[in-house]
Each structure stands twice: as structure tokens, then as C-alpha cells.
Structure 1
């Protein structure tokens, strides 16, 4: 468990907070490229506790600016995008993507007043059908060209706004054991009640392998974040789940198959969950012009939390922990070693930023940023015919943290003909260390 001060330090993301300053060192997606178009050229957003307006001007240039005109504070979300910026609806002042005032139509001819007027602006870029913003110090780092964003192929994306803090979303990624309980057991129970047999059977076919009983979990720190490893069912360390593993990109991204999940901190009590997916074009398939983007609802038509697919079930778990999870009363066990490790990583990187350094997973070398190919288990890569692609013969390093689990199974019940098995695990031991060779004594109630 954490103290109140420790929990606040990890969850408060506004300007001037330790976590807010760390988060400002990274690019964050805020919308789909297709959302800024001729009919809707402006969009109000909120990121890291700041209200902003993004727009696409008549030349196609993107801008990210503070929401109020410097003149009489009218909202620029209602402005008119023109050739050289966005024109305020109230008195016609124009601001470009750098925040400079470039036109004041009612001021005297030859006036230099506009040269003294600026509004706040932030760097903004597009990649893979998403719009990204950077809010940190200059010069801005490169927008990381993660493989599934940079590869040519079919893409789609969606988002949902969650009434909870970003950290409880991202900590879920460091918790492999949740899959067999939240998705296989509770998800199966929910699907059996809500869906017809064919949809129920498809769900169980999808989660069966990943939801098997966990025997061992491990986490290896890398240059870009963490590789999560696990042994489920009858797997050995030669299977892809352990040998190749599953990447978590510091600080707030999860790789899932050929897609990415971004847990974007809107403010202390809201998170924009953005999911993007990729597949290679089929032979003869016409390349897409625009990447589809959908804003999904957290609730169904009956006002209930949506729970009929895996990411929605994750969102339910995050939201029902409350707006900001109370970590002062939590009781952590052996299965939580990844979460404990991740919290320490966050603290270490906040310290790096406070000391004036550059945190983990910030990219500045263009040669290394053309396409950043990530290892991910059980998936095909462009140009490769076998699962694992360039990582097929990958040899993992020693996990920085790992835990042995009992994997003992227990029969539950049958849901309309679909048998569900889950695991009750114990604590047969666990160990952890960091890359520098020093021991990492994680704190859990199971270990105390």
C-alpha cells in the first residue's frame, strides 16, 4: 500500500506536478486525423489538466492552441480556419499554429500591436491516423514511429472517455493474472447472460488460451519500457508468451497484438483510452485513404457499463476502482510484483526529470525512428511467413522481477454449455532484481 502523498504523486497530472512534468516529456494522441475535416475543422480537447483547441487550417496545417482568444477571450473552438491560421469569431483576430497573432483587421494600418500578442501553442503531428500533441520543454523529441503506426496497411482506431485516473488503467497492463479472472471468468459469466450462443462461443474461443491458468510471470525492463512474460496452461519457457513476451511502452502504452492501447491522462480523474489496430493489406486490396476513427460510449442503451468484449471489460475494472484508486488501503500479493516494479519505475523517472534529465523512452535519433519494430508474441510481421518474424529466435534476458504461482485449477460451473475453469494460486516463492544487479525488495502483504 502507498501513503496518501505517494498516491497523489503518482496520479496528479496537472502543470507543475511531478507526474504531470514527466508526462509532458511524451507525445500523446488526442483524436483521430479524420475527426478534423472540412465540416468539423476544430475540436476542443483536454490533456494533462489543460483545456486546448486543435484545428486544421485551410492549407491542412494542424494547430494546437489555448482555447481563448487573447483579445476578448472568446473561444477559438468557434473560429474559422483560414490559409494562415484560425480567425476568431468575435473580432477576427487570426492566430497561427505557433500561437502568433498574424492579423488584427480592426487595428490601424501599419500597427505593430499584433507582434506583441501571442497565445500558448503546442507541437502537433499526425501518425497512423492519430493526432498527437507534445506539451513539454523544447526542443520537442521525435514522435515515436511504433511499427503498427508506421507500417503501410489497414488501420482503424477508436476511443472511449473514462471517468478514472490514468494509472489504474496502465497498472492493469502489469497484471497478467487479471486475464483469467476478469476476462475468462467474469467476462464469460457476463457474456453468457448478455449474448446469444454464437457470440458467446466466439468470445470463449478468443480468450481461452490467454485466460489459461498462470504458472509464472516475469517482467524485464528495456530501453522502451517493460517486456511482460507469462507461462499459462502447459506452456514452457520456449513458448512465445515467455520467450518473446509482450511489450509495455513507458509510460502509458500497451502493445496488444498488432495494435496499441494509449491511456491518455486527460486530468486527475479522466482518461482517454485510445486503441488503434493494424493488419497487412490483403493481395489486391486498395490502400485506404483515411483511417476510420470511432468515439465509443462507456455505457450501453440501458445505461450499463459495456462489457461484451475484452477492452470494455478492462474499462469496467478500471472505472469501478473509483475516480482515483485509493492505494492507501490496498493489499498487494505475489501476483502484483509487476505493478510494484512499475510504480518504482515511475518514481525513478520523475526523479530523473526533476534533476533535469531525460526520462526513459524519449526518442531523438531520426535514424532509429524510421520504424521501431517491437517484439510481440504469436503475431505475424510484414515480410515474414512465421509467427514472431524477426523475433522468432529471440532469447530473453533474465526477468528483473518474476513470481512463481501455483497454477492450481478449480472447477467453477457451466454457463449454457460452456465450461469455465479458473485458477486458485498460492505463493511458492518469488524474486526480483534490477538491471544494475541490486536486489529489489518489493513490498507486498504476501511477502511481509
Structure 2
């Protein structure tokens, strides 16, 4: 369990908080490229790390991300006109370019140079792999762009999406790096006693610290069939990568080696954006539209499952449409969608965040304990003026997750070395 003060340090992410300062040392996803699909299109409200922002794509295609409120009279710039390389406030016509610089104050005298002294807080952006990234920390400490393997894959080898989750970011992250819960929460065929995670429900966890975070393995003993091992990567401050040995086709699982994962980006202390990605593990096998549709549907993110604003139709207001008869006869939870099952559990924990002083952790929580220790280490590093672990993108460019069977007696750190190394 955590001390109360450490729990608060990890959960609170506002601009002046210790964890908020840690997040501001990394490039993080701000929104999907599809949200700003065309130049001079409608601006978008963005809330990140407790700050209200507005994003827009200007006439040249450059993305601006800046304070949501006009510095004149604090009107919200979401109502603004996106025109001629700038966002113009509709209250009095003040106009700002993508750097936040005011370039026009038409309600002031034509001879006035007042506009030159007015600038909004703005954050740099970078667009890659269907995501608009931002860096919200000190300019002089800005690191190089991320270079994860999934960012380097061709577009038809990769799919990204995002969903809104109503809970503290740490609850979501810890659910993602927990491996043993898949034998229970994600058991979608309780009658199949031969399923891998049903045959061994108590995986042994091993964690190895790295310059970017840590890699870890969930080792399941399948007796005469050897060990089934899922190899994970935890990349600071809030990314998980894992192997995805199977694909979904018409609701059925087929072998199709791929790597999947999530990035958790705090909206504020009580809400989080979950950016989801999956990419082919094989440089010779691109994705098909059918695969992407089947995958997203299986995880509860299909086109029929998501409301405007990337919110799930199955949510706490309707008890995630739990079906108790399905729970009794077919699946462990009675809730459809793998990630929806996660959200049901994570969103209905204590609010605004869990009281971790009351927890009783076991060996199955090894990765969660390691992540907390590493995040607290990052807080101490930033407070000491150091760059936190993983902020150098070169440390994580060559890693990936994997699923594999290994013979008994083969150490996963050796046996999976090649499979956990980037190929793109």
C-alpha cells in the first residue's frame, strides 16, 4: 500500500503538482489527427493535465494548441473563426496564430501596436501516426520527438483510436499493466477450461528495470505444454505495450502476431484519455479493414459502441449494460467489450481516486508496485532538476511486446530477447 501523501502525489496532475510536472517532461498525445481533419476547420476543445486548451489547424495545415480563453475578456476561443492562418475570437475580433501570438486587434485604433505585446500560452505540436502530440513543459528542457516502433510502421500496418474514461489516470494505468485480471475480467467463455488464461490463473510476474521504464513478463505454467509468456513493456510515464498473439475475425480468434497497447493521458484529476494502438508484428503482413473493425469491436470500441466525444455507449449511467444471464452462463462479467470490462471496474472505484492506503497487494501486483516506485522516482528526479527516466526517446525506440510459448527451463529474458526487439 501507499502512504496517503505518496498516493496524492501520483494521482494529482495539475500544473503545480509533482506528477503534473513529470508529465510535462514528455511528449504526450493531445488528440487524434481526425479531430482536425482539414485546414481552417472547426477548432476543438482540449483539456489536458488540468488545463483548458483549444486546438485548430490553420490554413497551411499547421496545428495550434493554446490557452482556450482570449486574453482580452476571457471569451472561449472554441467559438472562434479559423481563417487566414489564425483563430479569431468572435467577441471582439482579436486573432491569434498557432504560436499564440496576437496578430490583429481590429477593435483597437489602426495605429496601435498593442497586439505585439499580447500572446497566449501555447504548446508545440507534432503530428505522427494519426496522433497530434504536444509538449507542455519548459521550452529549454524539450526532448526529441518520440520514436516508438509503432510510430514508424506504415499506416496500413497500424491502427490508433481513443476513448474517454471517467476515472483518475492512475486507476486506468494500473488496470492496463495488471496481467492476472485477464483470467477473470476478460474471460469471455467461462465454459472453455482449456483457454490459456483459464488453465493458469496465477501467472508468475518478473520485472526488469530499463532506462525507459521496465519490461516484465506474466509466466503461466501450462504443465506439459511448457510456459505461456506474455511479454510487456512499461514506457514512462504512462504507456503499456503487450503481445497480441491472436486476431479477431467474425467474432473468432485466429493466430495473427501483433503488438497492442495504450497511452494514458490525464484530462484532469478525475478523467483520462486512453489512446489505443495496435500494429502488425510482421513486416510482411499489413492490416486489413476487416481486421481493424473486428479488433475494435471485440474491445468495445466498434463504430456502434462509441458516442460523440469518444465516450462509450456502455457506461456507468447504464451500468455498462451488464447482462446477468450472460454473466451466469457465458462470460465472467456479463459486460460486452474487453476494454469496456476494464472501464466498468476502474470507473466505479473510489472517487476522485482510490485510497491506496487500504490496499492489500500480493505477488500478482509486482508490476503495479514497480510502476508506482518508478513514478515516485520520476517526481524526485524532476524536483531535483533532473530529466526523468524515459524522457530520452532513444531509450525506447527498439522495444516491443510479445506473446510466446517457451519450453520449461528457458529464461524469458533470453528466450524472448529477439521477439521483444523492434523490427520496423
Q: In structure 2, what is the equivalent of residue 129 of structure 1?
A: 130
Going from structure 1 to structure 2, the CA distance change for 1:162 and 1:236 (only over 3 Å counts) comes to farther
Counterpart for residue 408 of structure 1: none
What's the counterpart of residue 25 of structure 1?
Answer: 25
Change (3 A) 1:41 1:212: farther
Deviation for aligned residue 1:270: 0.7
1:131-178 deviation per Cα after TM superposition (whole angstroms, max 9, x unaligned): 112111113212212111221132333222111101111112342211
**CA–CA distance in structure 1, aligned partners of residues 18 and 117 of structure 2:** 32
| Alignment CA distance shift 1:106-1:247 (3 Å) | same
2:320 corresponds to 1:319: no
- Which residue pairs with 2:369 in the alignment? 340
Q: Contact 1:240 / 1:377 at 8 angstroms: preserved in 2?
A: no
Q: Distance in 1 between matches of 2:155 and 2:197?
A: 26
Work out the CA distance in 1 between the residues paired with 2:403 and 2:371: 25
**CA shift in 2, pair 1:212/1:320, >3 Å:** farther
Residue correspondence of structure 1 range 198-347 to structure 2 within 5 A:
208-210=195-197, 212-213=199-200, 214-234=202-222, 241=229, 245-256=231-242, 257=244, 258-279=259-280, 296-300=310-314, 303-305=318-320, 307-323=335-351, 324-347=353-376
Aligned position for 2:330: none
Deviation at 1:183, TM superposition (A): 1.4
Residue by residue, what CA displacement relative to the aligned partner does 1:386-445 show, whole Å, maximum 9, x if unpaired?
xx9x9965499xxxxxxxxxxxxxxxxxxxxxxxxxxxxxxxxxxxxxxxxxxxxxxxxx
CA contact (8 A) 2:89 2:95 kept: yes
Matched-pair contact (CA < 8 Å) for 1:101–1:118: yes
Is the radius of gyration larger for structure 1 or structure 2?
1
CA contact (8 A) 1:148 1:259 kept: no
Distance 1:89 1:37 in 2: 22
> In 1, Cα distance between the equivalents of 2:224 and 2:387?
38
The TM-score with structure 2 as length reference comes to: 0.76
Mapped partners of 1:215, 1:68: distance in 2: 50
> Equivalent residue of 1:164, what SS?
coil
**Within 1, Cα distance between the matches of 2:203 and 2:61?**
52
Q: 1:237 and 1:101 mapped to 2: Cα distance? A: 66
Equivalent in the alignment of 1:97? 98
Deviation at 1:285, TM superposition (A): 8.2
Q: What is the CA deviation profile of residues 291-330 of structure 1, one whole-angstrom value per residue up to 9, with x for unaligned ones?
A: x997543343992326322222222221121331111211
Residue 117 (structure 1) shift:
0.7
For 2:379, the equivalent position in structure 1 comes to: 350
**Which blocks of at least 5 consecutive residues in structure 2 are unaligned?**
245-258, 290-301, 322-334, 405-411
Using the TM superposition, give the Cα deviation of residue 129 of structure 1 relative to its aligned residue in structure 2, in angstroms: 0.2
Say which SS state the counterpart of residue 221 (structure 1) adopts.
strand
Cα offset for 1:74?
Answer: 1.5
How many Å apart are 1:90 and its aligned residue?
1.6
Deviation at 1:260, TM superposition (A): 2.9
Equivalent residue of 1:125, what SS?
Answer: strand
Shift of 1:188: 4.1
2:63 counterpart residue number:
62
What is the Cα deviation at residue 209 of structure 1? 2.6
- Unpaired segments of 5 or more residues in structure 1? 193-203, 287-291, 380-387, 397-448
- Distance in 1 between residues matched to 2:151 and 2:183, nearest whole Å: 29
Q: Distance in 1 between matches of 2:286 and 2:363?
A: 47
CA contact (8 A) 2:95 2:103 kept: yes
Aligned counterparts of 2:224 and 2:126: Cα–Cα separation in 1: 43
Does the CA contact (< 8 Å) of 1:101 and 1:114 recur in 2? yes
Q: 1:104 to 1:149 in 2, by over 3 A?
A: same
Residues 83 and 119 of structure 1, relative CA distance in 2, 3 Å threshold: same
The answer to whether the 8 Å contact 1:153/1:281 transfers is no
Measured in 2, the distance between the counterparts of 1:305 and 1:267 equals 23
State the 1:352 CA deviation.
0.2
Native 8 Å contact 1:57 1:82 kept in 2: yes
CA RMSD after TM alignment: 3.2
Contact 1:179 1:211 survives alignment (8 Å): no
For 1:211 and 1:130, how far apart are their aligned partners in 2? 36
> What's 1:403 paired with?
none
Which residue in the other structure is 1:46 paired with?
A: 47
